[in-house]
Structure 1
Amino acid sequence: MRTRLAIKFHGLLEHHFPERRVFLKSDTDTKFIRLRPETQLVAFSGAALVITWTIVSTAVLLMDSIGAGNFREQAKRDQITYQERLNALSGQRDQRATEASLAQQRFNAALGQISVMQSELLASETRRHELETGIDVIQNTLRRTMTDRDIARDALASLETDAAQGDPARPQAADTGAPVTFLTEALASTAAERDDLVTSARKAQDHADELKLEIALMQENNEHIFRQLEEAMTVSVEPLDKMFKAAGMAPERILKQVRRGYSGQGGPLTPLSFSSRGEELSSDYLRANRILEQMDTLNLYRIAAEKAPFALPIKQAFRFTSDYGFRRDPKTGGRRMHKGVDFAAPSGTDLFATADGVVIHAGWQSGYGRLVKIKHDFGIETRYAHLSKIRVKVGQRVSRGEHIGDMGASGRVTGVHLHYEVRVGGKAVNPMIYIKAAKDVF
């Protein structure tokens, strides 16, 4: 049975692949090679497999190229949108800072005017108190004088009555004329002086009322300035506070550390100090101090943000090729921890420091290729690997946005890209935590 099947299969092969002979002729001899149907079938199958594999591979590469092109275009559009968002936020931040500066200038001018008005009001109150005291004294003197006048009039009337009755024991009316005239003039002078004092007191009271009205208007204006400053501080400080918290950095500890490093002249703002003659400070003074403390916090946040890697290491168009975490090793195919993120762009693309710091390594390191390490404050270190060229030296102090090297493919890689790491206390963390935390701030 098996022989019959073999014969039929051989006959079918001979029908489609008849036996062929290939003659090889030389100068002295002639040889031939017999190509059996089975041999031709194997050769045909191998050729078909090669052609099929070639077609499938070409299609896969073509689809991957088309997909990569679309992804690059989308990445470019996202990058442009991101840059526009950054520019808009930067403009808004500068506008807020300008408004806060102008508001602070108006606030300082208002405080100066309030101080002057308070001095004038105090002088006016003192003057009014003196006038009221003088009026009381004059009124008491006037009462005594009027009492003496009434007594003198009664005595004069009695004398005139006695003189009219011819009593020789009484002095004549002519003898009392001089005292009466003196008393009358004294009373008139006292009354005039009293009227002048009353008029001065009324004017002082009117002036005090005007000063009170001006102070009320000034307080209303100050309230408006305070509200503007408080709103500006809230808009400026809250996003920064959220940014540090999102990055896992305790704002209180960060601010305390920055304050220690910037406690000299030109550092944090000093609260207002006023002489109150032992009295408690007013609510305006306390409110002004709170605003200055917020401005101090904003300034410290600004300094801290420059020292933490809240930025992208590449400013040109790029695409993410690998995220942080476990992944398939492109070399061995095994599962391996990837301690950073990869950015792909053309070879030679400029790379930039993501925060202020000091270069602690600039050279070759196994696996990383050409590597730059930058030490930052708060125990943070950033790494930039697989560079084609290094443009900084060990010990060099760099600032955020400074050019530190060019993208390449040195070390253990499969293509041109940047391997970017962030380490805190020597332990690798996801760099996207910092980049995403600053997305709505910078």
Structure 2
Amino acid sequence: MLRRFASAIDAMLEKRFPERRLFLRSDTDTRFIRLKPATQLMVAACGAAVVAWAIIATAVLFMDSIGSGNFREQAKRDQENYQLRLNTLSDERDQRSAEALAAQERFTAALDQISLMQSQLLTSETRRRELETGIEVIQSTLRRTMKERDKARDELAAATADADAYVESAVAQDLNTDGVESIVDALAETAAERDAMFVQAREAVELADAMELELKLLEEMNDQIFTQLEDAMTVSVEPLEKMFASAGLSTDSLLEEVRRGYSGLGGPMTPMSVTTSGGELSPDMKRANALLNQLDRLNMYRIAAETTPFAEPYRSAVRYTSGFGMRWGRMHKGADFAGPHGTDIFATADGVVIHAGWSSGYGKLIKIRHAHGIETRYAHLAKFRVQKGDRVSRGQHIGDMGNTGRSTGTHLHYEVRINGRAVNPMKFIKAARNVF
């Protein structure tokens, strides 16, 4: 059956592929191989398949070569663009750092000026009190002198009346000349005492006028000092309020918490509540109290700023690699900064270390509890510089950058949490750039 089928196929292919014989000759013998039409068809098909495969493989290699060349060019262009972007970000970071240093110097100069003005204010207030006391003494002396002058006038009038009566009586009784001369001497002495009292009264009035002029000049100088201090307070307090507002913090609640923690009284910041006369506060005293309240508010802002993470956790050159928000379908609760292995990491505010150890995907992790319900986290560290329970200050070296935990490269994962809820840490860093 199979032979018949094969014979039928050979008969069909005979016209296209006639039977051929392949002779193999040796020195002593000659042999041949019969190539039937079906065999020739199979050999031709295999050859065509090999040629087709070679053509397809060549085309694939050629296309792959062209595609890889384009990919390398594209990768090179992307790398150049990326490097250009990194250089731009580095320049912006350096510019921001320079602006932050300049702002810090301006803030320090403003605080020094405020301290100097406060000393001048307290000195002028002491001088004003001394002048008030001196004016009261002068006024008291002037009133006593005027009373003595009026009394002397009354005594002079009475003596003059008595002398006139006595002269009339003496003339009537034909008195001797010695009695009249004694009366004239007494009248001359009384007139001299009256003139001396008039001179003393005039000198007291002139002294009072001079003291009044000096008091007016002092009041004008106090007004200038008050104006400068009020302007300085406005320039110093408003940026701090804007900084806290930009970070999403309530200034009222922050100041209330600082006020509870720092409730001691006394010293130059204590409001003045009495005057030398024991009456109501004068306008200058009220103005001074308002300035002292603003100075106290500025001081509380300074304390709140020291205990709030407005500083950057690094000082070396780093690269911002990932921000706060959704990433690859998961919530990224902090910001990532890449840098060389071992880069110093610093505390961003005063606080207490509540954790310094290994923590699952975080690797080597430091947690610091600050005031106002704020907590900061520093993850993937290579080395700890503090331990649990340590009290740290803003800018203190707490660890080294590493690649521990679930990390793809050396970097710092930095988090800020308020009452346990993660917030964007860049809000604090950017808000502080306008002030420090």
Q: Scaled by the length of structure 1, what TM-score is found? A: 0.82
- Distance in 2, Cα, partners of 1:57 & 1:421: 38
Aligned residue identity for 2:164: D
1:40 pairs, out of 46, 51, 54, with: 54
Q: Secondary structure at the match of 2:61?
A: helix
- Matching residue of 1:143: 157
- Distance in 1, Cα, partners of 2:430 & 2:402: 25
- Matching residue of 1:207: 207
- Matching residue of 1:14: none
Given that 2:319 and 2:338 are in contact with CA atoms closer than 8 Å, whether structure 1 keeps it comes out as yes
Given that 2:384 and 2:399 are in contact with CA atoms closer than 8 Å, whether structure 1 keeps it comes out as yes
Change (3 A) 1:265 1:273: closer
Given that 1:325 and 1:337 are in contact with CA atoms closer than 8 Å, whether structure 2 keeps it comes out as yes
After superposition, give the CA deviation of every residue in 1:113-162 in whole Å (9 maximum; x if it has no partner).
222222211111000000111111111121222222333344455x2xxx
Q: Which has the larger radius of gyration?
A: 2
- Matching residue of 1:15: none
2:362 is the counterpart of 1:368: yes
Q: Secondary structure at the match of 1:441?
A: coil
Q: How does 1:344-363 map to 2 (within 5 A)?
A: 344-363=338-357
Given that 2:259 and 2:300 are in contact with CA atoms closer than 8 Å, whether structure 1 keeps it comes out as yes
After superposition, give the CA deviation of every residue in 1:352-395 in whole Å (9 maximum; x if it has no partner).
11111112222222222222211111111111122233322122
- Matching residue of 1:108: 122
After superposition, give the CA deviation of every residue in 1:17-49 in whole Å (9 maximum; x if it has no partner).
xxxxxxxxxxxxxxxx97712222342244235
Q: Larger deviation: 36-45 or 416-425?
A: 36-45
2:283 is the counterpart of 1:283: yes
Question: How many Å apart are 1:178 and its aligned residue?
Answer: 4.5
Given that 1:313 and 1:353 are in contact with CA atoms closer than 8 Å, whether structure 2 keeps it comes out as yes
Q: Larger deviation: 123-132 or 78-87?
A: 78-87
Aligned residue identity for 1:422: V
Question: How many Å apart are 1:270 and its aligned residue?
Answer: 1.6
2:79 is the counterpart of 1:79: no
Q: Secondary structure at the match of 2:281?
A: coil
- Distance in 2, Cα, partners of 1:371 & 1:60: 39
- Matching residue of 2:19: none
Q: Secondary structure at the match of 2:372?
A: helix
2:232 is the counterpart of 1:238: no
2:105 pairs, out of 70, 91, 107, with: 91
Given that 1:262 and 1:268 are in contact with CA atoms closer than 8 Å, whether structure 2 keeps it comes out as no
- Distance in 2, Cα, partners of 1:61 & 1:389: 36
Q: Secondary structure at the match of 2:279?
A: coil
Q: Scaled by the length of structure 2, what TM-score is found? A: 0.84
- Matching residue of 1:128: 142
Q: How many residues align?
A: 391
Change (3 A) 1:49 1:440: same
1:393 pairs, out of 370, 387, 401, with: 387
2:292 is the counterpart of 1:292: yes
Given that 1:384 and 1:419 are in contact with CA atoms closer than 8 Å, whether structure 2 keeps it comes out as yes
Question: How many Å apart are 1:57 and its aligned residue?
Answer: 3.6
5+ long unaligned stretches in structure 1? 1-32, 160-170, 330-334
5+ long unaligned stretches in structure 2? 1-45
Q: Compute the RMSD of aligned alpha carbons.
A: 2.3
Q: Secondary structure at the match of 2:376?
A: strand
Aligned residue identity for 1:438: A
Question: How many Å apart are 1:260 and its aligned residue?
Answer: 1.9
After superposition, give the CA deviation of every residue in 1:157-194 in whole Å (9 maximum; x if it has no partner).
5x2xxxxxxxxxxx4342xx454333222211111111
Q: How does 1:243-392 map to 2 (within 5 A)?
A: 243-264=243-264, 269-327=269-327, 329=328, 335-392=329-386
- Distance in 1, Cα, partners of 2:406 & 2:260: 42
- Matching residue of 1:180: 180
Given that 2:386 and 2:398 are in contact with CA atoms closer than 8 Å, whether structure 1 keeps it comes out as yes
Aligned residue identity for 1:40: A
Aligned residue identity for 2:204: A
- Distance in 1, Cα, partners of 2:354 & 2:69: 51
- Distance in 2, Cα, partners of 1:173 & 1:348: 123
Given that 1:142 and 1:191 are in contact with CA atoms closer than 8 Å, whether structure 2 keeps it comes out as yes
- Distance in 2, Cα, partners of 1:46 & 1:432: 50
Given that 2:273 and 2:281 are in contact with CA atoms closer than 8 Å, whether structure 1 keeps it comes out as no
- Matching residue of 1:168: none
